[in-house]
Every structure is written in structure tokens, then in C-alpha cells.
Amino acid sequence: MTARSSPLEARLRAARAQQDILLMTHIVVGYPSLAESLEIVDAMVEGGVDVMELQFPFSEPMADGPVILAANQKALARGATVKRCFDFAAEVTRKHPIPFLVMSYYNLLFRAGVAEFVERMRGAGLAGAIVPDLPPEEGGEYLAAMDSAGLDPIFIFSPSTSDERLRAIAARARGFVYCVARKGVTGVHTSFSAKIDAYLGRCRRATSLPLALGFGVQDAADVSFLRGKVDIAVVGSATLRLIDERGVAAVRDFVRGLRAG
């Protein structure tokens, strides 16, 4: 693939020039229901989110902890399908000006046909995708389809990744790089400390793309810690817990408060 600066990267850099850190949130499409998912997106955008992951539910989300796993299972049980997820994506991209990404697992792309799935992404107005179980070395068909469609494959760095592999992953990445804060799955508490600083220093040396950090970002204090270290703070399971405990109505103020630290 030819190196290029993508529209997504340009949009993130423009937003970053206006703010000291950006926010990316995550929803599971169809949880608690499709109608409530729309309300959640609206509330998140009103709260000031800069970019959003739309997780297409899958029965075995291997990178996700119990909170997101349960949301995936409930969304599937309540009738979420790939078609309905794409219809949902098209609706929110028309309605809101921020970039939206698909987050899902390779099985969905494989079953639908990779090129067809990517073309449906383009048609729905999506900016890119996070497919955590697809290594770059095995993603030739996916990378070619994404490049042809002008969409960005978002790849993942982890603390256990060697410097050499960080650079190899970065060579295939577009838009930004998602740095996971620790090994394991989503939704587990992360201790933000000097170890994160050292890890993010390695990430920064591996790529000039914007850096996002997720897995354990729960509140304004965590976001404040990440200022000056990454471009994007990613909040996922914390929002789902909030919805479970306090309902959709609590989402907007929660998101607004994330920058208060």
C-alpha cells in the first residue's frame, strides 16, 4: 500500500489542534436496543466525543471482557444483525459530523466477503475499522480492499509488542494507532503509572500517526493522566457500566465530565 495521509488522520489532527486530548467512545450496536443505541450516540456526540467505535456484535469477542461480552450477547439475542448494524451506521454518519469506525472480529468480514463488507462500510459513510483478531501479516485481502475504498485499517500496539514489530505494524496502519494499556481484555482496571509513560514512548518512536490509548480508561482522572501522552483517550466498558446502572440519560453528562480533570 502507498503511504498517504488519510481524511480520518487529517480530521483527528485538526480536532487535536483545538483540544489537548480527544475522546473516543465505544458502543455495542443493538445494546440495550437499536433505538437506545441511537440515543446513546446522540448523547455521546452532545457530550463532546470526537470519534466513536461502533461494535458490530459477535458471539465470541475475544478481546473483550465480561461487560462488553454480555452486551454483545444481549444485542445478538435482541436481533442485531450485520445488515441492521450497517443501516444503523449509515443513519448515525448522516446525522453526526464526527468520524465513526467499525469495531468487530474477522469472522464477520470473512462470512460476508471481505471486499463486500468493506464496500458496505464505505457506503455507510464509515471512516475505518478496528479488527483486533486480524494480524497485519494475514490481512492482505482486507488491506487491499480498505485501500481501494479509501478507508483506514486501525491496528493495535500492546505493551508486550517488540519495537521491531511496533514498526512493522505501524507501516500498515492508517488514521491512528490504538495502543492497549495492558495485556488482557477490556473492562479491567488499569493502573496508570510511569510504566505507561515508557510504553507510550516506544509507541511514539514507532509511528508518527496519532496515538489512542484504551483498556481501563474509566474517568476524568485517567483522561487527565493521558494529556500530553496520547492524542485520544478511549472509554469503552465504563460507559456500558454506567448505562447498566443509571440508564441512557446519564451518558451525556458522563462524557462531558471526562475532560473535567
Kindly state the DSSP code that residue 192 receives in the 8-state scheme: -
Q: Does residue 46 carry a catalytic annotation? A: no
Angle at 74 between CA 69 and CA 76, to 5 degrees: 100
The single residue of 9, 39, 46, 53 carrying the catalytic annotation is 53
Residues in CB range of 145: below 8 A, 6 or more apart = 114, 115, 118, 119
Give the separation between CA 80 and CA 72, rounded to whole angstroms: 9
Of 9, 50, 64, 152, the catalytic one is: 64
Within 10 angstroms of residue 80's Cβ, the number of other Cβ atoms is: 24
Helices (H), the chain: 7-18, 34-47, 66-77, 82-95, 106-112, 114-123, 140-149, 163-172, 194-206, 220-226, 237-246, 251-257
- 53 catalytic? Reply is yes
Active site residues: 53, 64
